[in-house]
A and B are shown apart, each in its own frame.
Chain A
Amino acid sequence: MGWRLMRWALLLLFAVFFVVPLYAMLDFSTRQAGGGRTGEAWAALVQDPQLSSAIITSLLLAALTVLGMLLLLLPTMIWVRLRVPKATRFVEFLCLLPLAIPALVIVVGMRNVYTWVNYLISDSALTLTFVYIVLVLPYAYRAIDSALSGLDVKTLSEAARSLGAGWPTVIARIVVPNIWSGVLSAAFISVALVLGEFTIASLTNYENLQVVINLLGKSAARVSVAASLASLIFATVLLMALSYVGRGRRAQEGSLL
């Protein structure tokens, strides 16, 4: 009896701590100067040109990062399982390395590399994709790895090979469809991370969503609070969807371990 009471008391405390700031954002962003409510700050999310162009930049960055991450990671991870299992621990170490090297350190040291990127490719904000792929690598690796380990890749590929399939066919048409849930988890978590990224964009003077939210904080606090809440809700919906995708739940929980 005492424990049950305590349990409810604790749950109430946690709920207050976590819900009050979220509620405050809703309240704050819909307040009107003379009292009463207004949706102006929320309407500005689509009307403010600076904010909407930043939202588009961030969405494009998310899409490009997912694409690049899959192109880089999927063939490599499948190939390691199929042909070079000796390299498993090495590739895992490299993929998890960004957890030990903070984004802030990468941004301090990447000026040389980006001078060349900007010179050879372009100086648009979308070039951030290259470094974002590195940032999402540990999380994407975990998601894809847990899907791959639930699959007998070797037998599947030998069966396909004996029927005359080449390696590209094995990867694209046999293995990938079987680890679809892991690929989706990796994509979702990457999108969430890119939409929330601030450190690198702000220190390289590119305007993505979080950078503009921070800028607006000084001139239009209500709009930046509305944008903050909107992006939190969007990320929650994304991760809720992830928890419904097959093995996604386990992949997400293990993403940091």
Chain B
Amino acid sequence: MSRRSGLIPSLALLPFLAYLTLFLLIPTVTVIVGAFQEDDRFSTVNIEALSSPAALRTLRNSILLSGSTAVIGAVFGALLSYLVVTAPPTSLFRRVVVSMAGVLAQFGGVTLAFAFIATLGFSGVVTEMLRSTVGLDVFGSGWLFGLPGLILVYTYFQIPLMVIVFLPALEGLKPQWREAALSSGATTRQYWLHVGIPLLRPAFLGATLLLFANAFAAYATAAALVSQGNPILPLLIRAGLTSEVLLGRQNLAFALAFEMILVVAVVMTAYALLVRRTSRWLR
């Protein structure tokens, strides 16, 4: 096929490209351009506002929330993946865990917020049980509706996400490698220390980054759970969108969204690089 005739079939991709331009690229570019404008003119006031104490505190909270739930989710998710991998591949246990993980990780933040309100809210099932049996007040001053509560509920979808992402890597460890190590005189401990863990490290780190980005961009759980203030970045963006003028700036929502793009893009790029390293031996 000559070069010139290779151009015409490419034209069939135009509808797809036009669609993505309209509904993905234009909104993204709008955010980036808007971040550098105020009153329809070029301005850096909104970008400068990102370093105001309020915006920095929110960013710090968001990083704290995403970082802590990414680490907790990665460690316990990897542990649960290990329990799943060592169960027989056709077992019901495995099917149930994998399907449930898919639902809890991807389905919806609002429903999970309500699950925890029904459990640990003021008249939640566990709260009332502990109140009436041992006289313990786990509701306290309403920690569930602030940052500590967000950490708990985020963990509830971060662990399942880790299972979905990490399970294939764990399944990629071939039993022959273990047999080879053991028959060469290595102990199980040595096998994990010198073979298993070094092989899994990029996948583990990559998955942790993905969990971080996932928590950083999550909106629904926080919107349904937090009733007072805007402790994290996504909620501050909401405030910027709905109240027109936030901290005296018209375009602050754009600047905050731009900040979110930057963080997520950096994290996801690192993730993609790590995944490429893993996929060399996986499959």
Contacts and interface: CB of A to CB of B under 8 A. Distances in A.
Contacts of A199: 219-220, 223
Interface residues of B, number: 74
B217 A102 contact: yes
Interface residues of A, number: 83
Contacts of B103: 192, 232, 235-236, 239
Given A83-B9, A105-B261, A254 B219 contact: no
A196 B102 contact: no
Contacts of A5: none
B268 interface: yes
A196 B13 contact: no
B43 interface: no
Contact of A225 (B12, B108, B114): B114
B261 A256 contact: no
Contacts of B268: 99-100
Interface stretch (A14-22, A42-50, A158-166, A175-183): A14-22
A80 interface: yes
Interface in A188-211: 189, 192-193, 195-199, 202-203, 210
B224 to A, nearest CB: 5
Interface of B is mostly: helix
Contacts of A67: none
Given A25-B115, A235-B107, A108 B31 contact: yes
Given A104-B234, A109-B34, A235-B103, A84 B115 contact: no
Given A76-B13, A243-B98, 16 more contacts: A72-B15, A76-B15, A108-B237, A109-B34, A109-B257, A111-B30, A113-B22, A131-B23, A192-B102, A195-B108, A196-B106, A196-B111, A232-B108, A236-B99, A249-B98, A253-B98
